[in-house]
Amino acid sequence: MAAQPNYALPNGYLLMDYRIVRKIGGGGFSLVYLAYDSADQPVAIKEYLPGSLVKRGENDLVEPITQENANAFRYGMKCFFEEGRSLARILHPNVVRVQNFFRANDTVYMVMRYERGKTLQDHIRAHRGEVREGFIRRVFAELLNGLREVHTQKLLHLDIKPSNIYIRMDGSPVLIDFGAARQTLTLDQPLLAPMYTPGFAAPEQYTDQTMLGPWTDIYSVGASLYACLAGFAPQAADARLVSDRLASARSTWTGEYSERLLEIIDGCLRLDYMARPQSVFTLQKALMEPPPPLSKKRKIMASLRKTFNREIF
First-to-last C-alpha distance (Å) of the chain = 39
In the CATH scheme, what is the code of domain 17-113? 3.30.200.20
Question: Crossing angle of helices 67-88/180-188, nearest 10°?
Answer: 150
Q: What's the confidence (pLDDT) of residue 307?
A: 53
Q: What's the confidence (pLDDT) of residue 308?
A: 46
Q: What's the confidence (pLDDT) of residue 248?
A: 97
State the burial class of residue 65 (Cβ atoms within 10 Å of its Cβ: 0-12, 13-18, 19+).
middle
Binding site residues for ATP, as ranges? 46
Q: What's the confidence (pLDDT) of residue 79?
A: 82
| Backbone torsions φ then ψ of 8, nearest 5 degrees | -80, 160
Predicted confidence pLDDT, tens digits, the chain (313 residues): 444 557 899 999 999 999 999 999 887 788 999 999 999 999 999 999 988 889 898 889 999 888 888 888 888 888 888 888 888 999 999 999 999 999 999 999 999 999 999 999 999 999 987 899 999 999 999 999 999 999 998 888 999 999 999 999 999 999 998 876 555 555 555 545 556 789 999 999 988 878 899 999 999 999 999 999 999 999 999 999 999 999 999 999 999 999 999 999 999 999 999 999 999 999 999 999 877 665 554 555 555 555 544 444 3
Is residue 87 within a helix (H) or strand (E), and if so which, with residue range?
helix 67-88
Q: What's the confidence (pLDDT) of residue 147?
A: 96
Q: What's the confidence (pLDDT) of residue 154?
A: 86
Distance separating alpha carbons of residues 167 and 149, to the nearest angstrom? 19
Q: What's the confidence (pLDDT) of residue 117?
A: 93
Instruction: For the chain, give every domain's residue range.
Output: 17-113, 117-312
Beta-strand relationship, 117-119 and 18-26: unpaired
State the fold for domain 117-312.
Transferase(Phosphotransferase); domain 1 (1.10.510)
Binding site residues, as ranges? 46
**What's the pTM?**
0.86
